[in-house]
Structure 1
Amino acid sequence: MKTPLYKQNKKILFVTPSYSNAIYKKSKMKSVIATFPFAGSAVLAGALVQCDYEVAIADLNVAEDAERYLISKLESFKPDYVGISFTTPLFYEMKKIVEMIKKFNREITAIAGGPHASALPRETLLGTLLDLVVVGEGDQTIVDILSGKKWESIHGIAYKQGRDVVSTPVRGLVENLDDLSYPAWHLYDVSKYRGTPIFNRENPLGFYETSRGCFSRCTYCSSRNIFGMKYRYKTPERVVDEIEYMLKMGFKEVHPIDDGFSTDIKRAKAVCNEIIKRGIKINWYPQGGLRVDRVNKELFDLMYKAGCYRIPFGIESGSQLIIDNIKKGIKLWQVEQAVKWARDAGLETVGYFMLGLPGETVKTIEETIAFSHKLDLDYAKFSITIPLPGSPLYDDWKRSNIIKTDNWEMFNFASPDEVYAHPNLSWDTLNKYYKRAHRAFCWRFAYIFKRVIRNFKDFNFIEDVKAALKVKW
C-alpha cells in the first residue's frame, strides 16, 4: 500500500480491544477482574494532541455493545487513521476490528502496535487487513505517520507492499522520558474504569508508567520487543506531577505499571519522598511487580508512608533450578527476605508463580506450592507458562517444535489451552497442578484465619468472601 495522500487536520481514532471478551471469557476469575484504561494508547494520544491532531478514543471494554459503539464512533468522528494496540491473545479481536473498519471505509489507514505486532510484524500484517504496524516504541513514530512522511522514510514500522512486507530501520529508544507528552486522559470517561475489592481499594482506577526498559534476561519475557533492555526513567518530580494530573482527571487510585519501578532504588525512594512532600493522600501499589533483588527495607517503609499498600513480587518458582533455567537472576533466600521486609513494613504481599517453565517436573511444582505456603503471602497467583512471541522462551520452544499451535487466542494466561507439549509434563498434569496450587494456597486454615482477621479489621470481610466464592477452583 502506498503512503496516503497528505491532508491537513488528520484524525485518528485509538481503539482498545475488549480483553474481557477475548482473554477472560473462559476464565474462572472473570468476576474479579478490573476494568482499566490502556495507558499505552493514552500516551500516544497525548503525543498527537500536543501536535494539534484530532484524536478520539474507543475503548470497547466499557461499551455495552462493542460493535455498535465502534460503528457509532466511526460515523461521528470520521477518522483518517485507526490505531489498535493489542497483546497476543487479542490478535483475533484486533483482526475483527480491522475488518469492521475496512468494511465501514476501506480508505481508513489501519495501524497496529504492541508486543505481539513488534515481535511478529510480517505475520501480523499478512494475516489481517492492517496497512501498517508500529515496531517498538511508538511515541515519535505515530507523529511521523500522521505528519504525512513517506512510509519508507519512517523508522520503526512495517507495511504491506503488494504481497510482500517492507520493514524500515529500527527506531531508536526515547532517551529522556520526561520529554514525553502527558497521557490524554481528558479523552476518556474515567468514571467507567473500576476494579474489584481484591484488585484495588478505590475507584476510578488508572495506570501510568514511571520507567521503560529492563536489563534482566528472564527468558519468558517479551517486553524487550517494545522497550528494549536499556533502563530509562522519569524523574521523581515528573512522576508525581503525572499522579497529580491523573487525580485532577478524576482517578482515585493510580498504579505504576512498568516493570522497573524499583530498578533504581534511589529513584524509587525519591518518588515516595516527593509524594510525601506534596501531601498527596492516595492508595497505590506497583502493578508491574518488583524484583526481590531490587528492594530493601528502607524502600518498603517509605512506600508504605507514601500510600502504597501492597507489593507484588515476580517469584515464578520455588525451585532454584527452575529460577536458574529461566535466567531470573535471583535466589530463594532473597525472595524470603524481600517478603519479610514488605510484611514488616505493613504492606500486603503478593506472589506471582509460573508452572511449566523449562525443566519443570511434578517435584519442582510441588516445591513451588510448598514455597508459596512458607512465604506466608497475602495473595498468590499461579499461571501456566505461556511462551509469548518475542520472548527467548518462545523462540527456543518454536525451534524445538514444542509449540503445537499458532492459534493466538490460546496463548492466554487467564484460561490456557494446550499451546505446547512440555517435555516432562502432560497438559492434563499442568492443569491439575494449576488448580491444586490455588486450592492448596487458599484453603489452608492458617491462611483463612489470617484473611478473616485482616478483613474484619479493614471492613472488607463480606467482599472477600464473595470474591472467593466466585473463583471456583
Structure 2
Amino acid sequence: MKVLLINPPDFHMIKTNFPDELEGEEKAGYNPPLGLLYVASYALSHTDFEIEVLDTQVEELTYADIEKEIVRRNPDVVGIQTMTFTLIDVMMVARIVKKADPKTIIVLGGPHVNIYPEESIEQVEIDFLILGEGEVPFTELLNGLNRNDDLSLIKGLVFKKDGKLVNTGSRPLIDNLDELPHPARSLVPVEKYWSVLARSNPVTTIMTSRGCPYKCIFCDRPHLGKSFRFRSAKNVVDEMEECIQMGIAEFILYDDTFTVNRQRVLDICAEIVSRKLKIFWDVRARVNLIDLEMMEKMKSAGCDRIHFGVESGNNEILKVLKKGITLNQVETAFQAARKAGLTTLAYFMLGNPFETREQILETIGFSRKIRPDFVHISLTSPFPATELYKLGLERGIIKRDYWKEFAENPSADFLPPLWEENLNRDELFEMLRLAYKKFYFRPTYIFQQILKTGSWNEFKRKAKAGLKMFKI
C-alpha cells in the first residue's frame, strides 16, 4: 500500500484580524508539518507500507504541480492535514486526488474535522476522518483497509457506510509521549525550513508536550482536550541531537505552554548543557509560570526568544478573557526576560468582549511600557469551538453560525466575524493600525533595532518590515 500525507497549500488561507497592508506576499518562514511527520513516523514503525509526505507549501507547488505529483506518486491512500483556515485548499487538493484516481481513499485529520465532523464527512470527496490524536487511529485504519477488517471497531474514525454516518467514538489520548517515535523529518526537505527570526537556518519545530491546562475563552484547546502531557527531558534532547545530525541547529518549541512544569524545563536545560549542544531555540510561555532563574537557565542552554501572550493592558479585560494573569505579572516577566538577555515577543488582542476604545488605548500604551522587542497585535476574532464564539452567538454579537456555514460550503468570499460590540469593523482596524504605529514608529525603538542588527541580511529584513509599516 502506498500512502501519501499532504500538507496543503495556503493560497486561500482565511485572514481575519490583521491589516492587509502588513500581510504582503513575503513569507516569514516555513515550519515543517510536525503533525504529519508524527503520523508518518508512527505508521512507518507499525506497518510495512510505503509512506511519503508532500509539503506543498515549502515546495511552493501550484495546483498544477500538485496534480503532477499525485499522478506520479499514484498513492492508494492520501491523508490531508486540515485546519479551518485552509479548508478551501484542502478541498481543492482532495478534488485533484479524486480526479487523478477516483479509487484513491482520502482521509482528513486535524483541528477542523474534530470541530465539524459531520460537515466534513459530507464533502463528497472525503472517505474518512481521524478524530483526536492521529498516530494510532490512522495506522489502524491503514492496517484495517489492507486486511479488509471491520473498521467500525477502530476508535477515532468517522466515515460513511450505506449512506449513513458512522462515528466510532473517541479514543484515549496518548499518555506516554516518550513512546512515540520522533517525527519522520527525513521525509521532507529539512534544509528548506526557515524563520525570519532565526539566528541560524534551517529551523525545525519540536513539540515537548501536548495539551494546555488553561481555559482562555478565545482558544479552542479546551474543546480539543485539556489533558496536559509532557515528554521527558532526555527524549526531547535526543530528538534535538537527531536534528543536529541533519544540519539543524535552531528549534521552535511549539508547546502551548512550555513552562507549566518548572522542574522539567530545568531538566531540559541541564540536559542540553551537559551534552554541550550549540543550538538556539525559542518558546511560548505564560508570564505567571516563569521566573528569572528559569530564564537564566534557558538562556545558558541556548534559548534566544520567548513569546508571551499578554492579550490586554487592562486587568478587567484579562478577567473577561479568563487569561489567569495580571498586569503586574506581565511587567515582572518582561523585566526578568530583559535581565536574562532574552528577546521577547508580546501578543495582544484588540476588540474583546465589553472592551471600550479607552481600554484599547490602555493596551496600546501598555505594549510600549513593558518594552518587548517585538509585538504582534491582532483583532479578536471568535473562532469555532471556543467559549468566545458561543458567547457571541448567545449575546447576538455574532448574528449566525458563520463558521458552521463555511464548514458546510467553503467559499473564498467568506468574511469571518469580529467582536463588533463597542466598535465596528472599520473602527477596530483603525485602532489596530494605530497600535502598530504607536509601537514601531518610535525613534528610540528604531535606533535600538539598528544597534541590535547583527548582519546585512538581518538589516534588509528589518528594513523591509519597516517599509511595510509606513503603509498602514
TM-score normalised to structure 1 length: 0.91
1:283-322, aligned counterparts within 5 Å? 283-286=280-283, 289-322=284-317
Alpha-carbon distance between aligned partners in 2 of 1:462 and 1:65, rounded to the nearest angstrom: 27
How many angstroms apart in 1 are the aligned matches of 2:156 and 2:305? Answer: 37
Q: Choose 312-321 or 125-134, whichever is displaced more.
A: 125-134
1:28 is aligned with what amino acid? L
The verdict on how the C-alpha distance between 1:77 and 1:142 changes in structure 2, with shifts beyond 3 A counting, is same
Matches within 5 A, 1:244-323: 244-286=241-283, 289-323=284-318
Letter in 2 for 1:61: Q
In the aligned structure 2, how far is the partner of 1:428 from the partner of 1:56?
45
For the Cα contact (< 8 Å) 1:156–1:170, is it kept in 2? yes
Structure 1 residues 104 and 247, CA gap change in structure 2 (3 angstroms): same
2:117 and 2:158 in contact (8 A); partners too: yes
CA deviation after TM superposition for structure 1 residue 425, in Å: 1.6
CA-CA distance at 1:446 after TM superposition: 2.1
- Is 2:58 aligned against 1:62? yes
CA contact (8 A) 2:380 2:419 kept: no
Task: Give 1:13's aligned residue.
Answer: 4
Aligned equivalent of 1:433: 431
Contact 2:406 2:414 in 1 (8 A): no
- Residue in 1 aligned with 2:410? none
Is the CA contact 2:77–2:104 (under 8 Å) kept in the aligned structure 1? yes
Does 2:78 correspond to 1:82?
yes
Cα displacement string for residues 286-319 of structure 1 (whole angstroms, at most 9, x for unaligned residues) = 1xx2111111111100111111111110111111
Cα distance, 1:191 vs structure 2: 1.7
Is the Cα contact below 8 Å between 2:382 and 2:419 reproduced in 1?
A: no
Q: Does 1:355 align with 2:350?
A: yes
In structure 2, what is the Cα distance between the partners aligned to 1:459 and 1:68?
33
SS in 2 for 1:140: helix
Cα offset, 1:127, TM superposition:
3.9
Contact 1:236 1:267 in 2 (8 A): yes
Q: Deviations over 1:12-57 (max 9, x none)?
A: 1111112365257966234252112111111111001112321111
**8 Å CA contact retained: 1:120, 1:390:** no
Alpha-carbon distance in structure 2 between the residues aligned to 1:39 and 1:215: 22
* One-letter identity of the residue aligned with 1:465: A
CA 1:422–1:392: 2 relative to 1, 3 Å: same
TM-superposition CA deviations, 1:399-435 (whole Å, max 9, x none)? 44433533659xxxxx995514522220111111111
What is the CA-CA distance between 1:139 and the residue it aligns to? 1.4
> Partners in 2 of 1:177 and 1:293 — Cα distance?
25
Contact 1:152-1:168 at 8 Å conserved across structures: yes
1:170 aligns with 2:167: no
Distance of aligned partners of 1:428 and 1:255 in 2 relative to their CA distance in 1, 3 Å threshold: same
The letter of the residue matching 1:337 is T
3-state SS of 1:364 partner: helix
Structure 1 window deviating more from structure 2 (253-262 vs 20-29): it is 20-29
Task: Name the SS of the counterpart of 1:28 in structure 2.
Answer: helix
**Are 1:32 and 1:467, in contact at CA under 8 Å, matched by a contact in 2?**
no
Question: Which residue is equivalent to 2:233?
Answer: 236
Give the aligned CA root-mean-square deviation in angstroms: 2.2
Tell me how far 1:361 sits from its aligned partner. 1.6
Equivalent in 302, 314, 334 of residue 339 of structure 1: 334
Query: Which amino acid letter does the alignment assign opposite residue 253 of structure 1?
Result: E
CA contact (8 A) 1:118 1:225 kept: no
Structure 2 CA distance for partners of 1:426 and 1:128, relative to 1, 3 Å: farther
Q: Give the total of aligned pairs.
A: 454
C-alpha distance in 2, partners of 1:202/1:95? 35
Separation in structure 2 between the aligned mates of residue 233 and residue 35 of structure 1, nearest angstrom = 25
Report deviation, 1:189. Answer: 1.0
Is the partner of 1:160 in helix, strand or coil? strand
* Aligned residue number for residue 112 of structure 1: 108
> Relative to structure 2, which stretch is displaced further, 141-150 or 207-216?
141-150
| Aligned residue in 1 for 2:129 | 133
Shift of the alpha carbon at 1:212?
Answer: 0.5
Say if 1:27 and 1:152 are closer, same or farther in 2 by CA, change over 3 A. Answer: farther
Q: Is 1:29 matched up with 2:26? A: no
Give, in whole Å, the separation in 1 of the partners of 2:118 and 2:416: 25
Counterpart residue number, 1:213: 211
Aligned residue for 2:69?
A: 73
Equivalent residue runs for 1:388-403 within 5 Å: 388-403=383-398
Instruction: Give, in angstroms, the shift of residue 324 of structure 1.
Output: 0.4
Q: Percent identity, please.
A: 33
Amino acid at match of 1:431: F
Q: Partners in 1 of 2:98 and 2:431 — Cα distance?
A: 44
Asked whether the 8 Å contact 1:212–1:258 carries over to 2, the reply is yes
Q: Which runs of 5+ in 1 are unaligned?
A: 1-9, 410-414
Match of 2:467 in 1: 469
Deviation of 1:466 (Å): 2.5
Q: What residue is the counterpart of 1:99 in the other structure?
A: 95
Residues 258 and 128 of structure 1: CA distance in aligned 2, closer, same or farther (over 3 Å) = farther
CA distance in 1, matches of 2:266, 2:39: 28
Distance change >3 Å, CA 262–CA 158, structure 1 → 2? same
For the 8 Å contact 1:222–1:389, the answer to whether it is kept is yes
Q: 1:224 to 1:244 in 2, by over 3 A?
A: farther
What secondary structure is seen at the aligned counterpart in 2 of 1:328? coil
Could you tell me whether the CA contact under 8 Å between 2:345 and 2:372 is conserved in 1? yes
* Conservation of the 8 A alpha-carbon contact between 1:92 and 1:408: no
Contact conserved, 2:392 with 2:419, CA < 8 A, in 1? no
SS in 1 for 2:354: coil
Q: Partner of 1:191 in structure 2?
A: 191
SS in 2 for 1:82: strand
Indicate conservation of the 8 Å contact 1:117/1:124, yes or no: yes
Query: In the aligned structure 2, how far is the partner of 1:335 from the partner of 1:408?
Result: 37
